[in-house]
């Protein structure tokens, strides 16, 4: 059984990234080249939680991205939950916007001091307490209890439990859910802990290209990622991003939280690549299971672009003729077609056209859609069903987008947590809780390169307030320091509990290094005529580049 994770791959989150080129500098000044693209992470997994405790019955929603490679009939996803949840279609635009807004970036300022000329410028706690819908829709099937079943967009799902894992696996096999021989022992752990299972597969006739985000809604405000099942399909150092919309900052409940030692990040070189490596090392120092906060603050930073549009009106398609579909979609702002090319403003619109208005054999899809009248006699009358198209458009595009907007309007706060973990470390499901009194965490890492125009060493002022003198080659020094500055446990109430504090060691090492290097001899450099008074500031922004460590199977949710 291909497993499901409560996390899903990130493909669009890291959009246009930048990196510096090698430059020659004189007198300590520093020049940046124009931006160039950095690698986009294709292996990360992401989930967005919405925690709503404002009503009489608080609840949590988990919105999960899904990436899958393989045959449609082999897709199967198992989600352990404490009670039968609601299952519905999620919004891809929500993932794109939230991930983009919170993407860690490095901003390097450069300023010069001294006598500068222009020459240098030439360049699970108590999960059983969660309520749910376990008493609804019950039906018997031998020793299997079906708690809920239905459809959500391209997916068919069933929520079930049973007396034994063998019975559950046998039922899923008969019902057409692909099996994985490694799953039963892990499912047995969840069954003994009182979990039930949501099994998801592509509905009959659906293709892999139709896969979209899925959301589940359950009672309670304690988020959990059933990561134990993930180890079936995981790779080494798999990235997981957990994002939380709510009223305050979210922290890991049963895993440590790590604050990084910025003196280990390669700010003058490739901070993006270095950051990913340092995070991995810091998590290893915390025992292999820990989280780093990449953003914590107002959710107003998230764009609402693409989530909703007042022009969207599924009812307009209920009785429409096939020849008028493209014109109506265009008027609603969902696509724009020119000769042989259509641009879609929502990924699911193209998917729906493939289903309900498929191109004739031998005709490219965009050529067909951009000139339906040219192929009027070749339109498939059996595929076109205006009522079903309208229903699918509402379910997959309009309703998810408006619900995502509701989530952003309701929530005040957004937290982004990040970890990397390997299969052998996936032994404990991480739990999360909202906390009060923790500081905000910006997603931008701001460092300043201080260049001495009188020939002294270059110094980097780091985001955590420390400073470090670069080597004669202009690199960060190798001081043998730990990657984690602090390793903490963060309770729901009260201050963080420090388990490991490396700040004194870091401060002492930097003080000794700077004392030995800031008084060294000044290098010689010829400077062209000209003077620059005050300081020179230049900016270069680096998006996070994640290292891809090989292809992996992408399926389930933990």
Question: How many C-beta neighbours within 10 Å does residue 272 have?
Answer: 25
Whether the Cβ atoms of residue 90 and residue 212 lie closer than 8 Å to each other: yes
- Residue 83 confidence (pLDDT) above 50: yes
- In terms of pLDDT, which residue wins out, 192 or 30? 192
Name the band, by pLDDT with cuts 50, 70 and 90, for residue 44. low
Whether the Cβ atoms of residue 468 and residue 459 lie closer than 8 Å to each other: yes
Torsion of CA 109, 112, 117, 122, to 10 degrees: -30
Residue-level pLDDT at 262: 96
**429's torsion region: left (phi>0), alpha (psi -120 to 50) or beta?**
beta
**Helix 92-102 / helix 399-410 crossing angle, nearest 10 deg:** 40
Residue-level pLDDT at 75: 86
DSSP 89: E
Average pLDDT on 177-196 reads 89
Burial of 477 (0-12, 13-18, 19+ CB in 10 A): middle
Residue-level pLDDT at 34: 28
Question: How many C-beta neighbours within 10 Å does residue 466 have?
Answer: 18
- In terms of pLDDT, which residue wins out, 16 or 482? 482
Strand partners, 218: 60
Q: Which helix (H) or strand (E) holds 48?
A: strand 45-52
Average pLDDT on 86-108 reads 92
**Distance between CA atoms of 481 and 508, rounded to whole angstroms?**
10
The model's pLDDT over 416-433, given as tens digits with 9 standing for 90+, comes to: 999 999 989 999 999 999
**Distance between CA atoms of 232 and 15, rounded to whole angstroms?**
29
- In terms of pLDDT, which residue wins out, 371 or 517? 371
Report pTM.
0.80
The helices-and-strands tally (H runs, E runs) of the chain is: 10, 27
Residue 46 to residues 11, 418, 526: CA-CA distances in angstroms? 10, 9, 52
- Name which of 118-127, 312-321, 408-417 the model is least confident about: 118-127
Whether the Cβ atoms of residue 354 and residue 335 lie closer than 8 Å to each other: no
**Distance between CA atoms of 214 and 6, rounded to whole angstroms?**
10
The model's pLDDT over 104-129, given as tens digits with 9 standing for 90+, comes to: 988 888 888 876 554 333 233 333 33
- Name which of 97-111, 128-142, 267-281 the model is least confident about: 128-142
Average pLDDT on 528-550 reads 33
Q: Which residue has the tokens 């069933």?
A: 158
The model's pLDDT over 193-246, given as tens digits with 9 standing for 90+, comes to: 999 999 999 998 898 888 999 999 998 887 999 889 888 877 888 899 999 999
**Distance between CA atoms of 44 and 226, rounded to whole angstroms?**
16
At 444 the three-state DSSP class reads: strand
Question: Two tokens at 90?
Answer: 């999620």
Average pLDDT on 65-72 reads 82
Strand partners, 461: 448, 467
- Residue 10 confidence (pLDDT) above 50: no
Residue-level pLDDT at 236: 86
Q: Which residue has the tokens 């595009």?
A: 397
């Amino acid at each position: 059984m291909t497993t499901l994770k409560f996390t899903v791959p990130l493909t669009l989150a890291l959009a246009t990234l930048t990196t510096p080129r090698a430059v020659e500098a004189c007198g300590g000044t520093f020049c940046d080249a124009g931006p160039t693209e950095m690698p986009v992470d294709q292996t990360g997994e992401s989930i967005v939680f919405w925690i709503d405790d404002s009503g009489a019955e608080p609840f949590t929603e988990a919105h999960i991205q899904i990436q899958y490679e393989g045959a449609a009939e082999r897709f199967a996803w198992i989600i352990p939950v404490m009670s039968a949840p609601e299952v519905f279609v999620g919004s891809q635009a929500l993932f794109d916007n939230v991930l983009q807004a919170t993407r860690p970036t490095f901003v390097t300022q450069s300023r010069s001091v001294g006598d500068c000329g222009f020459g240098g410028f030439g360049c699970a706690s108590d999960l059983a307490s969660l309520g749910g819908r376990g008493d609804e829709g019950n039906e018997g099937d031998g020793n299997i209890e079906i708690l809920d079943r239905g459809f959500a967009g391209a997916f068919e799902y069933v929520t079930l439990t049973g007396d034994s894992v063998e019975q559950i696996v046998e039922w899923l096999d008969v019902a057409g859910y692909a099996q994985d021989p490694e799953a039963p022992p892990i499912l047995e752990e969840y069954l003994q802990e009182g979990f039930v299972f949501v099994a998801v597969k592509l509905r009959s006739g659906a293709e892999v290209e139709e896969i979209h985000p899925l959301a589940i809604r359950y009672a309670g405000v304690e988020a959990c990622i059933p990561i134990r099942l993930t180890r079936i399909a995981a790779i080494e150092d798999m990235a997981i991003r957990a994002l939380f919309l709510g009223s305050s900052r979210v922290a890991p409940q049963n895993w440590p939280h790590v604050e990084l030692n910025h003196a280990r990040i390669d700010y003058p070189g490739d901070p993006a690549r270095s950051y990913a490596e340092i995070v991995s090392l810091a998590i290893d120092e915390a025992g292999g299971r820990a989280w780093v906060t990449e953003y914590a603050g107002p959710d107003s930073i998230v764009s609402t672009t693409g989530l909703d549009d007042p022009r969207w009106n599924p009812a307009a398609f209920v009785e429409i003729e096939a020849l008028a579909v493209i014109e109506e979609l265009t008027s609603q702002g969902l696509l724009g077609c020119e000769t042989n090319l259509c641009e879609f403003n929502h990924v699911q619109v193209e998917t729906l056209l493939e289903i309900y208005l498929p191109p004739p054999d031998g005709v490219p899809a965009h050529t067909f859609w951009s000139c339906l009248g040219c192929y009027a006699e070749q339109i498939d009358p059996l595929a076109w069903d205006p009522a079903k198209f309208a229903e699918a458009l509402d379910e997959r595009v309009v309703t998810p987008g408006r619900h995502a907007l509701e989530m952003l309007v309701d929530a005040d706060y957004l937290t982004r947590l990040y970890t990397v973990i390997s299969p052998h470390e996936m032994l404990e499901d991480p739990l999360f809780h909202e906390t009060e009194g923790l500081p905000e965490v910006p997603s931008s890492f701001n460092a300043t390169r201080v260049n001495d125009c009188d020939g002294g060493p270059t110094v980097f002022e780091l985001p955590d307030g420390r400073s470090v003198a670069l080597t004669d080659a202009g690199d960060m020094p190798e001081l043998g320091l730990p990657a984690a500055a602090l390793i903490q446990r963060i309770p729901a109430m009260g201050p963080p509990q420090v388990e490991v504090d490396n700040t004194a060691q870091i401060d002492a090492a930097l003080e000794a290094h700077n004392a030995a290097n800031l008084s060294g001899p000044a290098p010689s450099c010829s400077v062209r005529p000209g003077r620059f008074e005050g300081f020179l500031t230049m900016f270069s922004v680096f998006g996070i580049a994640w290292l891809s460590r090989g292809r992996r199977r992408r399926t389930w949710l933990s």
